[in-house]
Structure 1
Amino acid sequence: MRALPQQRPLRRAGAPAAARPWPRPAGARPGAAVAAAAVATAVAAPPAVANDMGVGDVPRGETAGAVALMEGITLQVGERDLLQEVDWKLMPGHRVGLVGANGAGKSTLLRAMAGLRTIQAGRLVVAPKVELGYLSQTAVSGSTRTVWEEARSQMHAMLRAEAAMEVASHAMAAGDVSAADDLASSQEAFEAAGGFDADRRIGGVLAGLGFSREQWHRSCTEFSGGWQMRIALARLLLSDAGQAASKGAASGGLMLMDEPTNHLDSAAVKWLAGFLSASGGTLVLVSHDEALLQGACDRIVEVRGKKLHHYVGNYERFIELRAERESQAAATAAATAAEIERLEGFVARFGAKASKASQAQSRQKQLEKLRDAAPEAPAASSGAGPGDARKVTLKLPTPPPCFTDVIELQGVAAGWGEPGEGRTPIVSGVNAVIQKGQRVLVLGPNGAGKSTLLKTVGGGLAPWEGRVKLGEGAKLGVFSQDLAQELPQDRVALEYVSERAREVDATITLEKCRQALGALGLTGSMAMQTIGSLSGGEKARVALAVFALVPANVLLLDEASNHLDAATIDVLTGALRDFAGTIIAITHNRAFAESLNATHVLRVSGGSAALSVNGGLRDADFDHAPPAAPVSSNGNGSGGNNGSGVGGSGAQGGAKGKGKGKKGGSKVKAAPAPAAAPAAAAAPARPAAAAVTAAAAAPKEAPRKRTTLSWAERTEYEKLCKSLEKGRSEQAVLEARVAAASADPSKRGELEAASAALGAAAARVEEMELRWLELAELAGDL
């Protein structure tokens, strides 16, 4: 196993003199940390924060104690108003989940707060001393550093102190005794910036986000887009903005995060929720992941009806409060409408009568006031999810005919780049035959090679070894996790969809392409916007429109639910259920996986992949624990646990929030802090007998209960429903025959035959009911 990035040890003053890399000169202040040498990545003047953290010219101004302040702002994209006259006072320590339907303006608002776009009206300012960091949906490291170096690259306060220690130490080595004060002050600045704890925090964050220790030393350029997003996320969490956010003051920090979980599995989502919740920092988080919103946020702001609606509490509480508000608003609007109708009736009946003229005039004034003050009916919400209701439909084309065997993998080995000396494939020895009509779920932990293997199957990567053979007539349709971002950003959405569709079928009209976009919610002028001006979810809908127009009989889906809101995911899964072709899908979204009714599962792990019939999905298929942060006694890695978990520093070891989430999987819980690793590492090996005794005494983990049906069981379940209905009808007919025969003594023989048949029918129905109950419980229908 490789060592951490080379750094000389940093020790506190008070260590034995022989252990100190520098002697303390006369006049140096005791109690300051002493640094060995500057880290290779330290520089005298770090890059400007405004560029490094993805932010532009952030609007600064007086906020009256708030971290950020909005007064009457309006945001537009093209001809559309996304927000109109919005007010918001974001206070220190608020952890806000910004939710809404795709295209509601969430990402646009975040970009305005980050200084990356202007507002059309109103005032938006961030407090002058706030450190601000922004993670966009397409945040890619773009660095040639190693993962470790990139993750620590925005810890500017620590890097400045580190560079100052280097300068002072060289000056002292050259005989400049006056540099002692500079060295002492820089050591104190290094300690104040968390320098002595930095390696543990870096290791904890990288481990929590799923990076193995070996990956810490690889160049960022070796990672796919999904892993590059994780690197950017780690960099933000460790940056001055991320660390200052936990100070909870208008002079602290603010993190703006746009869909950070699009490339995270459920274990990493749980870790991130715990990290953000325990940090106590100021945060604005755009996400469709209900598990993350539930675990990380203490308030929700919903973008709906071009306004911001504020709710205090976690995501589940937001759903409850919104339902209550809508009910109250609807009742108030109905009562007001009824009163208006009553007054209008009075005025109409008595307005012309002299005896009632004064009363009619009085009612008319009341009516006018009531009309002016009448509350609007609440804007429709999209079912159980956040945001405006928007009808979205998707129907995939009929798959073209093809041979039974559509894909055959013969000893396939796959990896990124070109195979070379000393390089090993991510996955190898893959043999599988996938047939027409099969639905294959590709499952496994992050980094196991799922996306690499799927890209190899789809022709995006050449196999390192072996062969990928497509069957006669096989036509592939590919939807990758980065497809929405790989679209040509300068092209008009309608023109791009039309061009792609006509490559396959020249008879497809522009109107049909417009209808496909409109069915997915991109109506009117939205279809004429450039793809780059659309939100992440809207870009995904452009890609889905191509899917809806170009026939394919094999669909390769890599995290197809990324960027999509709950309503669009439901529509997509419905279209996939109705699709008669072959589907091969990678997903970390359990609800999405279960909705596909997979016939087979391709499990990828440990450098290999095996295809098997789906015998039911289990928790272990989605909950892959992140690797523990390794420990080092030389100041590198995650040494010096100090009672914290791998989740970060001190209080950042676990989550406080709980909850269920469609996109995030099961409940969000805090990961328990591991025992002090240095002590464990130093513990002597136990005798074999003691180990056996301890193993026997340790409580055994209860077997995980299945919560889904296998393909065969689901087929049986569907048939049972029909058979039960038929069996009960037969039983009712036999009961009527027995009743009729028992009333006529001359039909004794018929009565005996009917009674025997009724007994057999009742036994069959009872047996089917017992089996139906068993399957219904597994299916979650009871």
Structure 2
Amino acid sequence: AAAAAPARARARRCAPRCQAKKKKKSQVSEGAAYDQETRKTILSFGRVSKTASNGTPIIKDVSLSMYLGAKIGVLGVNGAGKSTLLRIMAGEDDAYEGDYFVDNNIKIGYLPQEPELNDGDTVLSNIEPAVKEIKQMLEDFEKVGLQMGDPDADMDALMSRMDDLQSKIDACNGWEVDNQLERAMDALRCPPPDAKVENLSGGERRRVAICRLLLSNPDVLLLDEPTNHLDLDALEWLEGYLKEQKMPMVIVSHDREFLDQLCTKVVETERGVATTFGGNYTRYVEQKAQQVAEQRLAFDRQQKAIAEKRSLIQRLQGGAQAGRATQAQKELDRMLNEDRVEKPFEARKIPFFFPEKDYRGTELRSGVEVVTAQGVAHAYGSRTLFQDVDLRVERGDRVALVGPNGAGKSTLLNLLAGDIEPKEGEWRRSHKLRIGRYSQHFLDVLTMNETPVEYLMRLYPNVEGMSKVEAMRKMLGKFGLVSHNHTAPITKLSGGQKARVVFASIALSQPHILLFDEPTNHLDMQSIDALADALEEFSGGVVLVSHDARLISRVCDDAETGAQIWSVDFRDEQPGDDPECRYATVQHFKGEFEEFRERLLEEIRRENEED
């Protein structure tokens, strides 16, 4: 230990020289010369294609280059290959055709839609692997210092080793690794370090995964639906952080506002083909509309010319002007082949629906009072989630439960559904109430080795009317799952396609009330709009937990139709409170959602300024 102290002292004295080296490197990538480096290709696709086992193209001939500083948003309907694109970039899928280039020494950080965490470990144990290499270098540095105390040691070799370690530690500011870890967890409002991951909410798990990813210090970020589960506080922080970063990133997201704030380029995947548009999401929408309008005009003109050419050929054939007819036929063949203008593709809007009547045509109506809670309290072990909750949901009500991650919104839905019983108080539900339940961890209810048709037939063996297989396929089609996926194993489907299977199952249950927990997480933008339409038209009750402001504004923002905003938030600290055991309260917000959101945003910004 005595030898290690002088070694550390020598390292500190060497630090200015090594920091100067680091600064010089930084100037190339981020300093004055940064603009000169932005056209350096660090990652590229050359005609990359991937085909599903049934022969359906997932992505086709994708060519894409990524430069320093690029922030690329990837758009497309569910199943269009967005997540596949990211998995190939991350090196997690090598079953593709074409060329994929990554610059040497580039470290890629990848956040999948459902990041894997070790449920049996603590929050800290899940995050620490991100800094494992740094901690190992610090440990090795200490060992070299101790070895220098041996009079027979090879000092030249040890000094060379120490100099190498110090340079690497300086380059990543490894001397401050513990402080960096603590600051990152605090910035993302991660749960306490000793909290068990198995007890965390979806949003808290997402924060832990993002914290681990960012601490790993990647050169490129690949983010698949990074805003899923995140509350407004975490979303604001993440958006601000990513805005400040010059590292390249590829973002798959259904959050229009998030893409608008971050993206410098948009890649649209459509029927397997990737098309690049400059600018953010709003600019993409403008360019796409112009492109479709121009293509439709060109298509219509060509169709008119084709009709005229066919008419001319018909008039000229078999007469003295047969030569002109032959020439006209050549021109027609060229228009139908190499000069062909394709009809612009417009994704068919699939209207979701939840039935108003059963198979016999009888209206699905519950009692006026669907669910009532009085004096409810609940806890997990010694941790109290909320107390003194009074809540009433009537037929036709639209209730949004809003609040920070970990406050207990999902638990409240579980209580409403009867999945768990409260520790105190009483829940009352209408007689024979049928509940349509969508969990944020909906994958747990699916049987991955079954096909969607097999899954639905097992759950609903007594469907009346048409043949069972036909009934199940019809329902899956109503939620936008294309026919070739009806008989594919569920495990092969994308996240959004799996979600459609769950929605079809809910519709078949003929529910009186819908309890939806983060239903937009895996849906594309068109499907989110279709879901909002369906929830607006549903005559039963709706209780919604979502961080999708657009969905809540559509469904739960009209008090005249029974819309209510219930805030599930941590109670203000009182003298003598244990800060680790704060519980939440549930309060009715008397106002519209946009008003609630603006107040919350202002409070978050004020707190961030104070920090």
Judged with a 3 Å threshold, the aligned counterparts in structure 2 of structure 1 residues 175 and 365 are, in CA distance, closer, same or farther, namely: same
Aligned to 1:163: 139
Question: 1:290: how far off?
Answer: 0.8
Worse overlay, 535-544 or 402-411: 402-411
Unaligned 5+ segments in structure 2 are 17-39, 358-362, 572-582
Question: 1:401: how far off?
Answer: 4.5
Q: 1:314 aligns with which of 262, 267, 280?
A: 280
Question: 1:97: how far off?
Answer: 0.9
Which residue identity does 1:122 align to in structure 2?
G
Q: Does 1:533 align with 2:492?
A: yes
Contact 1:156–1:240 (CA<8 Å) still a contact in 2? Answer: no
Question: 1:613: how far off?
Answer: 7.5
Aligned to 2:65: 89
Contact 1:427–1:453 (CA<8 Å) still a contact in 2? Answer: no
Aligned to 2:169: 190
Aligned to 1:721: none
Aligned to 1:545: 504
CA distance, structure 2, for counterparts of residue 175 and residue 494 of structure 1: 75
CA-to-aligned-CA distance 1:554-574 (integer Å, 9 cap, x gap)? 221111222112222222222
Q: 1:221 aligns with which of 198, 204, 210?
A: 198
Contact 2:204–2:405 (CA<8 Å) still a contact in 1? Answer: no
Contact 2:351–2:534 (CA<8 Å) still a contact in 1? Answer: no
Aligned to 1:407: 371
Q: Does 1:23 align with 2:6?
A: yes
Judged with a 3 Å threshold, the aligned counterparts in structure 2 of structure 1 residues 357 and 512 are, in CA distance, closer, same or farther, namely: closer
Judged with a 3 Å threshold, the aligned counterparts in structure 2 of structure 1 residues 361 and 184 are, in CA distance, closer, same or farther, namely: closer
Q: Does 1:238 align with 2:215?
A: yes
Q: How many residues align?
A: 563
Which residue identity does 2:234 align to in structure 1?
A
Q: How does 1:280-299 map to 2 (within 5 A)?
A: 280-299=246-265
State the secondary structure of the residue aligned to 1:262: coil
Question: 1:540: how far off?
Answer: 0.7
Judged with a 3 Å threshold, the aligned counterparts in structure 2 of structure 1 residues 561 and 348 are, in CA distance, closer, same or farther, namely: same
Aligned to 1:137: 113
CA distance, structure 2, for counterparts of residue 475 and residue 516 of structure 1: 19
Contact 1:260–1:287 (CA<8 Å) still a contact in 2? Answer: yes
Judged with a 3 Å threshold, the aligned counterparts in structure 2 of structure 1 residues 613 and 276 are, in CA distance, closer, same or farther, namely: closer
Question: 1:487: how far off?
Answer: 1.8
Question: 1:533: how far off?
Answer: 0.9
CA distance, structure 1, for counterparts of residue 485 and residue 103 of structure 2: 34
Judged with a 3 Å threshold, the aligned counterparts in structure 2 of structure 1 residues 499 and 200 are, in CA distance, closer, same or farther, namely: same
State the secondary structure of the residue aligned to 1:300: strand
Q: How does 1:639-654 map to 2 (within 5 A)?
A: none
Contact 2:435–2:515 (CA<8 Å) still a contact in 1? Answer: yes
CA distance, structure 2, for counterparts of residue 88 and residue 261 of structure 1: 24
Aligned to 1:377: 342
Contact 2:567–2:589 (CA<8 Å) still a contact in 1? Answer: no
State the secondary structure of the residue aligned to 2:376: strand
State the secondary structure of the residue aligned to 1:474: coil
CA distance, structure 1, for counterparts of residue 510 and residue 587 of structure 2: 26
Aligned to 1:590: 549
State the secondary structure of the residue aligned to 2:345: coil
Q: How does 1:567-646 map to 2 (within 5 A)?
A: 567-596=526-555, 597=558, 598-605=562-569, 606=571, 607-610=583-586, 612=588, 615-621=591-597, 624=600
Contact 2:118–2:126 (CA<8 Å) still a contact in 1? Answer: no
CA-to-aligned-CA distance 1:625-679 (integer Å, 9 cap, x gap)? 5999xxxxxxxxxxxxxxxxxxxxxxxxxxxxxxxxxxxxxxxxx999747x6xx
Contact 1:336–1:374 (CA<8 Å) still a contact in 2? Answer: no
Question: 1:127: how far off?
Answer: 3.8
Same amino acid, percent of matched pairs: 27
Judged with a 3 Å threshold, the aligned counterparts in structure 2 of structure 1 residues 501 and 180 are, in CA distance, closer, same or farther, namely: same
Q: How does 1:173-572 map to 2 (within 5 A)?
A: 178=155, 179=158, 182-199=161-178, 201-211=180-190, 215-241=192-218, 245=219, 254-354=220-320, 356-381=321-346, 388-398=347-357, 400-416=364-380, 419=381, 423-484=382-443, 486-502=445-461, 509-572=468-531
Question: 1:485: how far off?
Answer: 5.3
Judged with a 3 Å threshold, the aligned counterparts in structure 2 of structure 1 residues 608 and 334 are, in CA distance, closer, same or farther, namely: same
State the secondary structure of the residue aligned to 1:309: strand
Question: 1:544: how far off?
Answer: 0.3
Which residue identity does 1:566 align to in structure 2?
M
Question: 1:21: how far off?
Answer: 8.7
Contact 2:354–2:510 (CA<8 Å) still a contact in 1? Answer: no
State the secondary structure of the residue aligned to 1:451: helix
Q: 2:98 aligns with which of 113, 122, 127?
A: 122
CA-to-aligned-CA distance 1:373-398 (integer Å, 9 cap, x gap)? 333334323xxxxxx33534323344
Q: 2:56 aligns with which of 65, 77, 80?
A: 80
CA-to-aligned-CA distance 1:264-297 (integer Å, 9 cap, x gap)? 1233223322322321222221111111211221
TM-score norm. by structure 2 comes to: 0.82
Question: 1:163: how far off?
Answer: 2.3
Contact 1:412–1:466 (CA<8 Å) still a contact in 2? Answer: yes
CA-to-aligned-CA distance 1:227-269 (integer Å, 9 cap, x gap)? 222211221122132xxx2xxxxxxxx3222111111123322
Which residue identity does 2:551 align to in structure 1?
F
Question: 1:77: how far off?
Answer: 4.9
Contact 2:302–2:341 (CA<8 Å) still a contact in 1? Answer: no
Question: 1:87: how far off?
Answer: 2.6
Judged with a 3 Å threshold, the aligned counterparts in structure 2 of structure 1 residues 176 and 617 are, in CA distance, closer, same or farther, namely: farther
TM-score norm. by structure 1 comes to: 0.65
Q: Which structure has the greater CA radius of gyration?
A: 1
Judged with a 3 Å threshold, the aligned counterparts in structure 2 of structure 1 residues 552 and 611 are, in CA distance, closer, same or farther, namely: farther
Judged with a 3 Å threshold, the aligned counterparts in structure 2 of structure 1 residues 569 and 346 are, in CA distance, closer, same or farther, namely: same
Which residue identity does 1:370 align to in structure 2?
M
CA distance, structure 1, for counterparts of residue 542 and residue 427 of structure 2: 17
Q: How does 1:664-743 map to 2 (within 5 A)?
A: 674=609
Contact 2:356–2:539 (CA<8 Å) still a contact in 1? Answer: no
Judged with a 3 Å threshold, the aligned counterparts in structure 2 of structure 1 residues 390 and 484 are, in CA distance, closer, same or farther, namely: farther
Question: 1:156: how far off?
Answer: 4.8
Question: 1:402: how far off?
Answer: 3.9
Contact 2:352–2:533 (CA<8 Å) still a contact in 1? Answer: no
CA-to-aligned-CA distance 1:736-765 (integer Å, 9 cap, x gap)? xxxxxxxxxxxxxxxxxxxxxxxxxxxxxx
Unaligned 5+ segments in structure 1 are 1-16, 34-63, 246-253, 382-387, 629-669, 678-782
State the secondary structure of the residue aligned to 1:340: helix
State the secondary structure of the residue aligned to 2:212: helix
Q: Does 1:147 align with 2:123?
A: yes
Contact 1:432–1:611 (CA<8 Å) still a contact in 2? Answer: no
Contact 2:187–2:237 (CA<8 Å) still a contact in 1? Answer: yes
Q: Does 1:111 align with 2:87?
A: yes
Which residue identity does 1:373 align to in structure 2?
E
State the secondary structure of the residue aligned to 1:23: helix
CA distance, structure 1, for counterparts of residue 193 and residue 513 of structure 2: 36
Question: 1:67: how far off?
Answer: 1.0
Question: 1:26: how far off?
Answer: 9.4
Contact 1:71–1:87 (CA<8 Å) still a contact in 2? Answer: yes
